[in-house]
Chains A and B, each alone.
Chain A
């Protein structure tokens, strides 16, 4: 297979997605199939070709450095799972 169970565990850790032990082999097979499918691109000669990151080759637009946002923090804090004193609450990071 083009990808090993060890690599699947490694990328799932990078992606912060937990995979149950009994799913590792199945997922290795499934993602392996997808990687085999996309591997056919490797045979194409792309020397001298510039990558196309934006379909219209658009460049990043600039604007005047003027503040346009209004303070809507209350609205956004209002939909957060846990908030205290205008801050998002997460489990303790440092003991």
Chain B
């Protein structure tokens, strides 16, 4: 099997057996990026020289027998994670010149494990979007059909994995930004429980919702990546003080008797028939594996999108006030006074969608409106979480669609914010409730991949990965990639 077609688990085993070296693996992926990424625009920065030098060191580590499972494996990072000495733009003109003097905890953990940084992936500006079209560096294109969006905001990571430009990547998920692009690109992505992965050095969008997570071809690979990403971090006071289990340990466990809550019949009215069909078959497959399907209802979830679009912009308007042209990032030319410096730096440095969300958030937090919007939304958030927790008392996992349909055409939703926001219908609930959730490929609609979402109890990522792995053991949707299909 060619190097680029292999999963992280296969590459790691190959490195261990000395079938190939990390230099060869890293070179193979860099060559693919150099020859194919002009089609997808998945990378903002390619880290060629440093990657090759890290690969040489990884080979020495493997030779000395001090390697870990990810030593010598090249991966990509969403350009939201600060990487010391490597530009971290967050998809924005505001940070086009920002070279962080420190590493995010996530990147530090991967570096310590010996993983290689191939580069930084394209994303919606400041993670605000569901299509990777709001990036300062231009849109990213879906490898299955380059007229379609890859989803967002972690669209660059998803597209890079689908096109086999990297075997795995990091993403972040504030309202679905790992799961929706995973669904659109036919890959596997997991948003962990809030607090599972440190947010230190991960550029903040909405602090009470943001969570970093793994994206890869398989659930098995996501478990390997999550093992490295997770853990309590004294540098992030919201990171959970929970012992990190080995997420790879329970993958092979049978799911006989597992109770899976389905909202399928409530969801069906919003889905096209092709998607319904695939979802029904995927649920049948889970039944064949021994799971019991239990009909559940989450009526409060209909409030999730408007609740999210109060909380997320409000927190964003606060977080993004740090970008003022004074300490780092973009500064306007020849400011007349301090007010002009702030205002022009921000107006020239931010794109339209970011400005819209800052203004919406500023309005929701402004005098006289705080209780009406932000306070109210936080109360409804509790109702939404309570409803999930109540359902999860009776079932182990909740399964349903990840998105409302397959990837949409580039440019088709640019003038309609609400329609773009409704793309998050099935994903934002898990962010508001803080629960772990993942998307796995389950088939195709109009030749574009679609995913099934699995939502679990707090800190039960292991169970989600187990269900996903068992599903992938019995199906081959996760093994289908556009490169293979198009024979490119």
A interface list, Cβ under 8 A from B: 3, 7-8, 11-12, 14-18, 27, 30-31, 33-35, 37-38, 40-42, 44, 46, 49-56, 58, 60-61, 63, 68, 72, 75-76, 78-82, 88, 90-93
Contact = CB atoms under 8 A, between A and B. Distances in A.
Contact of A93 (B303, B338, B356, B359): B338
Interface string B84-119: 000000000000001111100000000000000000
11 contacts: A8-B359, A16-B343, A31-B356, A31-B359, A35-B360, A46-B379, A46-B380, A53-B378, A63-B234, A79-B328, A80-B327
A58 B376 contact: no
B483 interface: no
A43 to B, nearest CB: 10
Contact of A41 (B307, B347, B362): B307
A81 B364 CA distance: 32
A29 B78 CA distance: 33
Given A37-B309, A58-B238, A52 B362 contact: no
Nearest to B421: A37
B348 to A, nearest CB: 9
Contacts of A88: 326-327
Given A55-B194, A56-B240, A90-B326, A18 B331 contact: no
Given A52-B385, A56-B195, 20 more contacts: A15-B317, A16-B324, A16-B339, A16-B346, A30-B356, A38-B309, A38-B310, A40-B306, A41-B303, A41-B310, A41-B376, A44-B380, A46-B379, A46-B380, A56-B193, A58-B238, A60-B237, A61-B241, A75-B101, A81-B325
B372 A79 contact: no
A54 B238 contact: yes
A50 to B, nearest CB: 6
Given A17-B350, A55-B385, A90 B338 contact: yes
Contacts of A92: 337
Nearest to A81: B331
Interface residues of B, number: 71
Point out which of B340, B375, B380, B458 has the most chain A C-beta atoms below 10 A from its C-beta: B380
Contacts of A55: 194, 208-209, 381, 385, 431-434
Q: Chain A's interface: helix, strand, loop or mixed, by majority?
A: loop
A68 B233 CA distance: 14
Interface of B: 98-102, 193-195, 208-209, 234, 237-238, 240-241, 303, 306-307, 309-310, 317, 321, 324-329, 331, 335-344, 346-347, 350, 355-356, 358-360, 362-364, 366, 372-373, 375-383, 385, 417-418, 421, 431-434, 458
A76 B377 contact: no
A79 B363 contact: no
Nearest to B357: A34
Contacts of B335: 90-91
Nearest to A62: B237
Nearest to A61: B237
A22 B364 CA distance: 24
Contacts of B340: 91
A18 B349 CA distance: 11
A33 B338 contact: no
A92 B335 CA distance: 10
Nearest to A3: B363
